[in-house]
Structure 1
Amino acid sequence: MEFTSTALVLIDLQHSNVARSLAPYSSQQVVDNCSRLANTIRSKGGTVVYVRVLVNEMLQLPADISLARDPSAPPPPPQASELVPQAGFQPDDIVIEKRQWGAFHRTALDQQLRRRGIRTVIMGGIATNFGVESTARAAFDHGYALVFAHDAMSSIKKEMHEFAVQSIFPFIGQVRSTADLLNTQ
């Protein structure tokens, strides 16, 4: 893998998501694996991108099942949208703020990646079948090669994670473990 043309894109490693109960991997496992990947990608000359959703500005549309907060509940605290310190953000990393599940819609993500000559995107974050999958589908549509660190992502239900990892991601990229990616030359 040519790391100077590779970006690690980490989805929603922020207080509001890390506080959730996740499966099959705990939020701590996901954050730890994402941080390890970020350190390795940086050390090999790659780009690290942290995406965070602005929870108080997220688009709310009618749905049969909603992940949205109760509109009568008080707004989340400002830190809800902040990256957790354990995620390993560094000053030279890119931060993308979004208001949807996907990180490409109405953001500068594609522009930031293209300016750096990125051709391969490694994906991780929370939640596998929401933000990660939505961003990955758009990355595929934009022509990026995709790699999924399956144990550097998780969801609200094990079955949701497994469906994306086993039934969607292999059609649009390569699925690997964090250990496999850390050992890539």
Structure 2
Amino acid sequence: MALSAIDPRSALVLIDLQKGITSIPGAPFTPAEVIERGTRLATEFRLRGLPVVLVNVKATPPGRTEISLRSGTAAPDWTDLVPELDVQDTDIRVTKQSWGAFYGTSLDLELRRRGVTQIVLGGIATRFGVESTARAAHEHGYHVTVAVDACTDISADGHRASVEGVFPRLGETATTDEILATLP
């Protein structure tokens, strides 16, 4: 569904724009393009006094062993958010251990404390962290808007499948420029 409005009680949620993940090639957009668009969104949300949530992934869920960052093979700064985001003291920081940003984190509590009714999503990877977070946000009763050019995947086909097949059923989709033009 196309963008109709941005609630005056919206928050921006950016998923996994961290050094270890943004070093992986993306499609259809490069990580650099996603970072640039996410940074533009974050700047405008901050200027309007709207919450900015920066999510990183630190490890796999406890008990999962098939993929692990605990093995010590990841670079020491793998989980660090990219400097282009210009993290502010007012930003909400969430560290997750699974694909989605809601499960096992304080995200819902942080948003509800601020009266947030809608989340605008971007990040990496479209089919994993972004889609999982969008699904959970929908299940938690938030209005969901995905900035379709502020997220990317390891596969252009995978990105397109989420953008065309999943996100319209969870909420609205728009480009970064459309969202910026609609901000209250």
TM-score in terms of structure 1 length: 0.90
Identical positions, percent: 40
Residues 22-46 of structure 1: per-residue CA shift (max 9 Å, x gap): 0000000000000000011111121
Matched, 1:27 2:25: no
Alignment of 1:109-120 (within 5 A): 109-120=107-118
> In the TM superposition, what is the alpha-carbon distance from 1:182 to its structure 2 partner?
1.0
1:19 deviates by 0.1
Aligned-residue offset at 1:74: 4.8
| Distance in 1 separating the partners of 2:131 and 2:121 | 9
SS at structure 2 position matched to 1:79: coil
Partner of 2:12 in structure 1?
8
Q: Deviations over 1:42-95 (max 9, x none)?
A: 1112100000000xx313365xxxxx4699x75202200110101232111000
Task: Give unmatched runs, 5+ long, in structure 2.
Answer: 1-5
| Separation in structure 1 between the aligned mates of residue 106 and residue 151 of structure 2, nearest angstrom | 23
Cross-structure match for 2:75: 77
SS at match of 1:78: coil
Tell me which amino acid in the other structure corresponds to 1:2: D
Select which of 121, 128, 131 maps to 1:130.
Answer: 128
Measured in 2, the distance between the counterparts of 1:43 and 1:156 equals: 32
Deviations 1:162-184 (A, max 9, x none): 00000000011101000101111
AA matched with 1:34? G
Counterpart of 1:53, as a letter, is V
* Paired AA for residue 38 in structure 2: C
Distance 2:69 2:47 in 1: 42
1:48 to 52, 57, 62: 52
Please give the root-mean-square deviation of Cα atoms over the aligned residues, in Å.
Answer: 1.6
- Distance in structure 1 (CA, Å) of the matches to 2:178 and 2:158: 23
Name the structure 2 match of 1:180: 178
In structure 2, the residue matched to 1:171 is: 169
Q: Secondary structure at the match of 2:148?
A: strand
Q: How many positions carry a matched residue from both structures?
A: 176
More helix by share: 1
Q: Which residue of 2 aligns with 1:65?
A: none
CA distance in 1, matches of 2:178, 2:37: 12
Q: Unaligned 5+ residue runs, structure 1?
A: 63-67
3-state DSSP of counterpart to 1:164: helix
1:17 and 2:15 correspond = no
From the superposition, tell whether residues 97 and 70 of structure 1 become closer, same or farther in structure 2 (CA, over 3 Å).
closer
Kindly indicate whether the alpha-carbon contact (under 8 Å) linking 2:60 and 2:69 is maintained by their aligned counterparts in 1.
no
